[in-house]
Amino acid sequence: MFTNMEKWAEIRRRVLTGEISKRQACAEYGLHWQTLQKVLTHAEPPGYRRTTRRASKLDPFLPVINEILVADKKTHRKQRHTAQRIYERLRDEYDYTGCLTLVRNAVRAIRQRSKEVFLPLSHPPGQAQVDFGFADVWLNGELTKVALFVMTLPYSDAIFIQAFPRECTESFLEGHVRAFAFFGGVPTRISYDNSKVAVGKIVGDRERQVTAEFLRLQSHFLYEAHFCLVGRPNEKGHVERLLDFARRSFLVPVSRVQSLEELNAQLAAACEQDLTRTLRGKSGSKQELLTEEQQHLRGVPDEAFEARKVITAHACSLSLVRFDRNSYSVPTQYAHRAITVVATVSEVRLLFADELIACHPRCWNKQQFFFDPLHYLALLERKPGGFDHARPFEDWELPVCFGILRRRFEAEFQGQGTREFIEVLRLLERHTVGALKHAVQHALEIGAGSADAVRLILECQQEEPIDLFCLEGRPHLKLVRVGQTNIAGYQDLLTNNHASCATGGLT
């Protein structure tokens, strides 16, 4: 039976108006008599009519297929049965003699029935969701995988995304700080998954023992945290969906940048541009809804929050502190001491008893060593023989005049020349390279030939010129009156004293 509505209407019109007979209609349109009767009975083609399903060869094996698919849910998704593999097992283990198509249809139907259905959730203004994703970018000419921190506001559909070298405590905290600044406020409630960055231990369906740094973040910004049930990422489906959108829209084609700072500036601009869009079912653009939602956000505290990780490490005999698979130097007097490491996304600070003793740029690679030559000068003074062989001084680039001064010292002082030059270098512990360079150049010009001479020149150049004393800003000194000294008495004293001396000489 055909279902072409145009033909259907034509046949009915011509037969029921008497234009042609039923016999002519069957011959002209190639219809069976019963089909023609159906056309004349119904004004439009009738819908699908269920017929009795015949038994299939696969019916006895349906419980086996169900059992296999249920067991698959507990295994890794890449090691689950395909329809082809289920067919092979039914054939080899259960003597199934049917075809592969029946198995494929049955597997497809079972999987469709077992798919979970979710309730649409309401999103009051002032609530946010956070997630991490990953993407590839060309970073300084090298294809690099970066971690993407994403925060969304479901009510306004606003999104903020930033790239970091890795998903870790520092990037997690820094992402929040930047997101709050972008949105112009702090959400009252933020939903998370169960990342180890935030969750130390799961103690129930909803109960979590969170990490100390997460508690510090919460305490500073005063928002409520909501953690999804394990294996239920749909509870923060908004950020999951927008993360995919941002990755496809902001990072396709693969971005080519020289630094993460450049990439993050591009991502922030893309998020700003995205606010101009108006989504289906929304009463205004994202920007308009965000402006409305900002009334429900808490203000960002005036006191800045430092996104950092703090651990205690130990300085080894080489005066190196290991952190995050890299080693950073500290002054040699702190070797074999317990050192506090304060790490942010951009730097690593090393403290001893609350005193900052070293600061290095953060490295996100591994097994790298970072030396500050100044940290080893005190030790080098006691072991001058290592000056040309120690790793901290291998790539130390000093002004050309420093090399000239060293050669002059070694020629003049023989074996003590290197020690004398090291004394000059130790002045860098208190002065800049530029200031010491000027002092060394001046010492070479005037022929000064010792470390003490260079130090005196440097200190002289660093002295501030003395200005004339001014009473401005010192109102109490304006009341003081100092009389003019009369020096006539002093002159008389000198005259009388001279006469006495003369008389005494005559007698």
Q: Could you give the CA distance from residue 69 to residue 91 in angstroms, rounded to a whole number?
A: 17
DSSP 57: T
Fold (topology level) of 127-296: Nucleotidyltransferase; domain 5 (3.30.420)
**What is the predicted pLDDT for the residue at 507?**
39
Mean pLDDT of 327-347: 94
Token readout for 276 is: 């101009």
Which pair of tokens denotes residue 60? 């006895």
The two three-digit tokens of residue 67, written as one number: 């059992």
Confidence of residue 503 (pLDDT cuts 50, 70, 90): low
Residue spans of the domains in the chain: they are: 5-41, 59-114, 127-296, 309-370, 378-462
Contact 221, 180 (CB under 8 A): yes
Apex CA 271: angle with CA 266 and CA 275, to 5°? 145
Other CB atoms within 10 A of residue 296 CB: 15
Is the pLDDT score of 501 beyond 60?
A: no
Judged by DSSP in three states, 219 sits in: helix
* Average pLDDT, integer, range 442-462: 88
Percent of the chain with pLDDT strictly greater than 70: 88
Residue keyed to tokens 């080894």: 316
Phi, psi at 500, each rounded to 5°: -60, -40
Q: Which residue has the higher pLDDT, 25 or 496?
A: 25
**pLDDT tier at 504, thresholds 50, 70, 90:** low
Cβ partners under 8 Å of residue 255, min gap 6? 137, 138, 263, 266
Provide the residue type at 435 as one letter.
Answer: A
Q: What is the mean pLDDT of the chain?
A: 87
- pLDDT, tens digit (0-9, with 9 covering 90-100), for 105-161: 999 999 888 876 655 666 789 999 999 999 999 999 999 999 999 999 999 999 999
At residue 218, does pLDDT exceed 70?
A: yes
149: β partners:
132, 162
Asked whether the beta carbons of 165 and 183 are under 8 A apart, the reply is no
First to last CA, the chain: 163
Supply the pLDDT for residue 45: 84
User: In this structure, are strands 355-361 and 338-343 parallel, antiparallel, or unpaired?
Assistant: unpaired
Residues 173-190: pLDDT tens digits? 999 999 999 999 999 999
